[in-house]
Amino acid sequence: MSRITRLGREGVACPWWLCFTFDNPLRRWIHPPQTILNGLVRPGETAMDLGCGMGYFTLAMAGLVGEHGKVIAVDLQERMLAGVRRRAEQADLTSRIRVHQCRPDTLDLDERVDFILAFWMLHEVRDRLGLLQELRQMVTPHGRLLLVEPVLHVHAWDFRASIGLTRQAGFASVEVRSIRFSHAVLLEAALPQQEGNP
């Protein structure tokens, strides 16, 4: 779940204590991390869990990147990141997970990443295009972004508008993904057009 708002629509992020409700047997049935991420996160890659909350997807990503990969868990709130640190220690995955506290107006990261997960978070962002442009600058050639939004909060027209913003930012749609109670699309960094080509 996202905790990055760029001061969000209401100027606040989801409270840290609410995230304890996000990791339970029902959630693991509705949104099994391994199933959602299978084939998207690869061994040796650098992946980002954007708006990681307390790390519901972070640990699964760390398992998929393997001992030579890295996961950057990004969130606005230190209480969320403290939860990620604690869970990473319990799972003996601290060597693969780096936590990063972003600022409300920027990720403030100088990294290159192969895969970004933005799960149920973009609708909370005021400057969506600005965030997407920042992400585009970070992804490697053919880097991937899995954008997932909740159907209960995000209308289909709003999700289509977000996909339009991803194109403006320099991503290209690869495929629609099927994730329960969600709109979801896999995107890839679009290669810049050659001069003289349409």
> Mind listing the pLDDT tens digit for each residue in 71-90?
999 999 999 999 999 999 99
Closest CA to 60 of 76, 45, 75, 49: 49
C-alpha 139/C-alpha 26 separation (Å) is: 33
What is the arithmetic mean of pLDDT over 154-179?
97
Closest CA to 47 of 61, 28, 33: 61
The pTM score is 0.87
- Domain limits, the chain: 32-189
Tokens of 72: 């950057």
> Mind listing the pLDDT tens digit for each residue in 108-161?
999 999 999 999 999 989 999 999 999 999 999 999 999 999 999 999 999 999
Tokens of 132: 């997407």
CATH 3.40.50.150 fits 32-189, yes or no: yes
The alpha carbons of the chain give a radius of gyration, in whole angstroms, of 16
C-alpha 196/C-alpha 64 separation (Å) is: 41
At residue 191, the pLDDT reads 78
